[in-house]
Amino acid sequence: MELRLEAADERVLGEVRGELEGLIERYGMADELQLIEAREAAGEARHRGDPVTLATIALVAAGAGGALTVAMGKAGFLTQLARVLEKYLHGGQVRAVIKETPKTRTLELEGSARQVERLLTAWLEKPRD
């Protein structure tokens, strides 16, 4: 599972990255979680005009075996993650999508911190095949 954050404005994504790095450090999860950056051309423009280049951050498990699920279940981490996401999801500054694998389902996150936390919790608690 990975949480992908996309933004057309690299400055905004840099702010998000800084907050996520601080969160990971505060909760002592540097060994379990990694932030990976990538630049990719969007397939289609979201609005009129030319396609944009998206800056992307992926929050992924450093190891296998559900490490991301375990790490995100640490007391308080999910709540703080939802608060960070809410700040940037509001107004469409950042798009946040959860992916399990490239061939499986995705979930786009939106709403308040409480709604985001509920979506993340439901996703993490869902039984896997």
Residue 112 has a pLDDT of 92
Residue extents of the structural domains in the chain: 2-125
The predicted-structure confidence for 75-88, as pLDDT tens digits, reads as follows 688 888 889 999 99
pLDDT, tens digit, 9 for 90 and up, residues 50-64: 444 556 777 765 554
In 3D, which of 33, 29, 37 has the Cα closest to residue 5?
A: 37
| Dihedral, CA of residue 111, residue 17, residue 60 and residue 33, to nearest 10 | -110
> Which distant-in-sequence residues (6+ apart) come within 8 Å of 123 by Cβ?
1, 98, 107
